[in-house]
Structure 1
């Protein structure tokens, strides 16, 4: 991979990633009941658990997009379309996995012969089209992505995040993730330990934050040349419910390219078919009318048996994203400086994705999720689990974006290598330049979930690719810098001069 896949993580992220995320990828998210149930299981929870953990529950496929770090500009649209096709193929295969339980029980080779094998053939053909797109415009294709066509299968116990997180004991020190029996049906949705849509979250995905040891590291020491100012932009909480399931950065021109729903604040005309000119005409929810930037993130839903407008739509209930959508109570968007020097202004139309929506496939190298509770943010930050907050405490999602830019590109083929994180001392390496660091803090009023006998009730989870099983580590945030009236320079000057601006 490129530079950013080997990035040195911020001290906070280094501390919070103490437990491994499950390695899984599928797609789809068809709603069904008793996803983990075996044809021979009894009423015994113990027997159900054994049957559940040994059953294939998802499909794991390599993420081809992360390997494509050198795609010519003229080939990027075609490549993006084919990468979206790979996601769609996995989604369809995962849906077939979910809907053929009886056939799998009757034939031990069914999954391989009827699902995984055909999927490999489709992926191989799609990856070859990517090769053609790149070579057609004179680009090079080393052949290694062609080796990523094959997928594997994972069982329930292989997709359990469980274990100890950040030095704290999960659920009183007992791993609950293996107890994933089918639950009671409610309107066709599964009410059990694996989420209403059967693809998460599980009991193991939650932890009582009061039982987690403090893990927040000290910030880098400031030098005399530090840029200590801040610039806050007030853009609302998406109270007007500006949503879609597109992702114009990763899948331009592809409807439902994200396979999950986003909240949008800032620019009001962002979808798969937007371009830079659209952004300039999009209007904004920000109080500063010169801030036309787009800030968007996956919605959070509470799985309490309620449903929302997209329960039967792509990217919603049809793909495993179920429950009532929660609007943040607050959304703080702030630009901060570098502890070691001055920053340069962000270039117009810079795109940054922080975090990784596919950590259950890619591992935690690019994970940048931070979950906490009000009253605990300076002590505990979680990456691989959702916090169960005390009564009266709000759930908090925070993001600290990459703050180093290569000085040339507003995007890159894998949407990562043009930006990077600063090192442990706060310096940008490899010729990269410090830019104002975008930070975001979202708070939610969420009734604390409960975990009993390995079952989580009233769970909440971030929307995601249905194959990623709604793991906390898949949280991510997207940003497109669009400003007018010299705002980009004003932000940099404010940060450099140590002022507090808005």
Structure 2
């Protein structure tokens, strides 16, 4: 639930108003807007291209509004109503016009969706980052030394040795498919980066507003078609796997000026520092604890996690952070791990493992696939498919949280600007471009309990 930091009519005490204005002036707030894309359960094919572009425009509008908010502390100090009148109010007007175009586009070929106008208004949300760096880009001793002022902060990190065990694994039935198919696709040594997202924002440059690492398919940008994927090269050892695997880059906030330092998606949107290449990236396809799996259809798209979970809430979040030597004990959802000496940072994505048996994508890019329940069972009407388990290992020192990363800098995910590099926003994307022969091999391997590649 977002927190509107403006006082309502019956909350006008000077002390409360002063605290709220101080939060705005210090930059310790973000912009929280309803996620329109997640509310669209059906978009006709004829309207999809325009709807995708309008959804990407909504993201751009939020990014621009957040950037203005983060650079307007002086104006807010002088006028407590500045943020509402000059940033949030105009943002609502822009969003309403864009949302109207979405409804009209759908209405031309199907029933016009109702009630989308209610999603236009945004609120200002207090982040709790005061005194810890965060958005505070005013200088001083509490600012993250190598960052640009929009996170992370010391409170985003936790000593993993002090976290209680929280890992639970569903029991396997006698009919479980226990095999593993391994696709070896490298760690993006080719340095294939961009800030597009061809699943969520096809045809839109910088649709992600943060930079992705790519392995597997080597034709990855906003304009790649299924035909492009099929014809492209691959970094995978088995050339029958031309799938696209991508995730937001991890950076060390050490002041390094990367290739994207002044570009949208990079430094211009608060994603700064040295991009860290994983020392190891494993892509395992595993079976179901309840029975056999079926083949995934070619060009199936799966997004796991939520890049906007900091403001959206955790309904679709699926971040898992840990350290080598601790993965079977502790997985962190909303904290970066401080790993002990000799232990590496690990990001793990366990993708959805149930498919609706019909669609390779859906309007909100989620409802055509699902997670199995706690017992490993797929929802009614869904079939178990090979589950992608993606594991990324990074050799990065634990930052010095007591001095806000001055001695040893923070590391952080790239993110939408308003998401402030929060670890809960970690996510992964996958487009299946296995050829039929290799997919059948993978399914047989998994269902017969073998390990193959």
- Global fold match (TM > 0.5): yes
Is residue 432 of structure 2 the alignment partner of residue 489 of structure 1? no
- 2:319–2:348 Cα contact (<8 Å) kept: yes
Mark the CA change 1:183 to 1:199 in structure 2 (over 3 Å): closer, same or farther: closer
Mapping for residues 308-323 of structure 1, pairs under 5 Å: 308-323=258-273
- 2:348–2:389 Cα contact (<8 Å) kept: yes
Q: 1:79 aligns with which of 51, 54, 58?
A: 51
- 1:372–1:397 Cα contact (<8 Å) kept: yes
- Which residue does the alignment assign to 2:10? none
Is residue 128 of structure 2 the alignment partner of residue 153 of structure 1? no
Other structure's SS at 1:248 match: coil
Shift, 1:24, TM fit: 8.2
Mapping for residues 17-56 of structure 1, pairs under 5 Å: 23=2, 51-52=22-23, 55=26
- Which residue does the alignment assign to 1:96? 68
Other structure's SS at 1:58 match: strand
1:466-496 C-alpha deviation (Å, 9 max, x unpaired): 1101000000000000022511111111100
Shift, 1:225, TM fit: 1.3
Gap regions ≥5 residues in structure 1: 1-21, 26-47, 161-176
Mark the CA change 1:89 to 1:152 in structure 2 (over 3 Å): closer, same or farther: same
- 2:253–2:272 Cα contact (<8 Å) kept: yes
CA–CA distance in 2 between the matches of 1:324 and 1:455? 14
Mark the CA change 1:305 to 1:344 in structure 2 (over 3 Å): closer, same or farther: same
- 2:143–2:404 Cα contact (<8 Å) kept: no
Report the TM-score when normalising by structure 2: 0.92
CA–CA distance in 2 between the matches of 1:68 and 1:318? 30
Q: 1:214 aligns with which of 152, 160, 165?
A: 165
1:387-426 C-alpha deviation (Å, 9 max, x unpaired): 0111111000001000000000000000000000001111
CA–CA distance in 1 between the matches of 2:22 and 2:133? 9
Gap regions ≥5 residues in structure 2: 5-18
Mark the CA change 1:346 to 1:485 in structure 2 (over 3 Å): closer, same or farther: closer
- 1:183–1:191 Cα contact (<8 Å) kept: no
CA–CA distance in 2 between the matches of 1:141 and 1:364? 29
- Which residue does the alignment assign to 1:228? 178
- Which residue does the alignment assign to 1:472? 423
1:246-275 C-alpha deviation (Å, 9 max, x unpaired): 000000000000001000000000110000
Root-mean-square deviation (CA, aligned residues, Å) is 2.3
Other structure's SS at 1:440 match: strand
Report the TM-score when normalising by structure 1: 0.83
- Which residue does the alignment assign to 2:450? 499
Mark the CA change 1:413 to 1:358 in structure 2 (over 3 Å): closer, same or farther: same
Other structure's SS at 2:93 match: helix
Other structure's SS at 2:401 match: strand
Mapping for residues 58-137 of structure 1, pairs under 5 Å: 58-137=30-109
Shift, 1:142, TM fit: 3.4
Aligned length: 437
- 1:194–1:202 Cα contact (<8 Å) kept: no
CA–CA distance in 1 between the matches of 2:419 and 2:246? 19
- Which residue does the alignment assign to 1:347? 297
- Which residue does the alignment assign to 1:7? none
